[in-house]
Chains A and B, each alone.
Chain A
Amino acid sequence: MGRPGPSAYHRLNPLTKATVATVTAIAAVALGGVVGPIILAAAAVLSPALVAGVLGRLARLSLLLALPIALSAFIVNLFFFPGAEQVLLRIGPITATGEGLRFAIEILVRILAISGAVTLFYLTTRAGDLTVDLERRGVSSRVAFVANASVQTVPTMVERASLITDAQRARGLDTEGSMWRRIRGVVPIVGPVILGSIAEVEERTMALEARGFTRPGRRTLLWTPADSARQAAVRWGLVVGLLALIVARVTGVFG
């Protein structure tokens, strides 16, 4: 029993997609260099995204997710690579180096591969599907709930922040204009968002208790995501492949 999904990739078991994302992210780091992670990303991120019809959204979201850290890592490595000698450019006291540029590109490719893998999973998997699947495999319903609720909290808090922003604007708060004004405008919004969320926790806990959430033992699952022996084999294959890659890197087989 599974829920219909818009594409074959969406319909894969959530654990399979989680395994693909995790293995891709770790392998991108383990592979090193530039070509390896690019081929990996093309095979494990871009191709499935094309099949799932989410390539455009994937590009936008993963860039947004990776941009701050990718940019800062790129700049730091480009200009401050320790022991670099091949000078490319001098800007005042700082120097861009060839070694720094190569390493910065490597880091950039890895970060993009990781954010792409994570974003693909997010775009093609409902949090509830993963937690139901984990519950079916024996994970405690409380652990599954906490994992699911943590993911679902983000959009709820974004919505709350938007409501509070509107309310504060209606009371004269200036959140537009210069960067300094925007930063100042964030302060009166952060407090109510966080405090409001904390205040709701008690009532939410009570509502869950009243609906039998703390009852010991397993609960009924109305449906479970589809799985197959082939997918299980793929998952194990990916894990074994990743372990082999790490061993090869550690022992120097890849140089």
Chain B
Amino acid sequence: MTIALDGVGYRYAGATSPALLDIDLELRDGEVVGLAGASEAGKSTLCLVVSGLAPRTVGGQIRGRITLDGEDVDAWPMHRLSQRIAIGFQNPSTQLSQVTDSVFEEVAFGPMNLALPREEVAARTWAALETLRIDALAERDPRRLSGGQQQLVAIAGLLAMRPAHLVLDEPTAQLDPAGTHLVAEAITRLARDGVSILVAEQKVDLLAAICSRVFVLDGGRVVLDGWADEVLADRRLAEFGVMELSTVQLSRAAAASGVAGDRLERALHA
């Protein structure tokens, strides 16, 4: 099961210049791929394109080829794609349906739309809630939760869809460290179960923890790509508006202060 983008470019309706240019990307089974880049580098647009929302819902013009497991998805309607690819956005309030009275119903909203048997909907919903350890919120009104809790509910709603591929656009933007950790754990577990995941994130430490490969975007183009540890240690990251890993920053600060690398290493592992 693979999503592949081959020379994909995209221009929003009414825009004079393209938001994405010549993107080649492959997302394989059980793989977590990170997207990094400054604001307006094209991360969110790439998430929309991979999920199929652009241009189907957003409009605009796309070129190049997108395949899902070798099949061209150009003519697929969105509801067909949504059974294979799920997408989560960074603003939790817009991801909730706003028509449900409980977190349980909110998480079940997607599987209900897929017309799955009632028992299957309930089983998927409980599993998603338990994965993110928010089963205690099941009876709560989703509109009365904090932003971080709403984000976890939104992600649980995606997990309940049991997608083969998952696209997450800054999923931890509203989360505290504990919530971020839960999402990281859930992503790792899903990848272990064979789900391929594309994550756009500003938190490079999170990308380092969960991704096998990372793409860095700048001006709608891929400017760096490769294994996560190599890309995230690249000295050019700052040029592209991406923060360095905290360990890299610490090493540099230690070196600048005359602290030997091996001493720092020992202190970190003490």
Contacts and interface: CB of A to CB of B under 8 A. Distances in A.
Interface of A: 126-128, 131, 141, 145, 148-149, 152-153, 155-156, 200, 202-222
Given A209-B82, A219-B115, A220-B121, A203 B99 contact: no
Nearest to B117: A220
Given A211-B82, A212-B114, A222-B112, A203 B121 contact: no
A215 B121 contact: no
B113 to A, nearest CB: 4
Given A149-B98, A155-B143, A207-B154, 9 more contacts: A149-B99, A209-B57, A210-B85, A211-B97, A211-B110, A212-B82, A212-B113, A220-B117, A220-B118
Contacts of A212: 79, 82-83, 110, 113-114, 161
B100 interface: yes
Contacts of A209: 53, 56-57, 78-79, 82
Interface of B: 48, 51, 53, 56-58, 77-79, 82-83, 85-87, 89, 91, 93-101, 105, 108-118, 121-122, 143, 154, 157-158, 161
Contacts of B58: 202, 206
A205 B105 CA distance: 18
A210 B82 CA distance: 5
A210 B79 CA distance: 7
A200 B93 contact: yes
A84 B164 CA distance: 76
Contacts of A148: 99
7 contacts: A207-B87, A209-B56, A209-B78, A210-B82, A219-B113, A219-B114, A220-B115
Nearest to B163: A210
A103 B79 CA distance: 56
B121 to A, nearest CB: 5
B105, B113, B117: most-surrounded residue (chain A CB, <10 A): B113
Contacts of A210: 51, 53, 78, 82, 85-87, 158
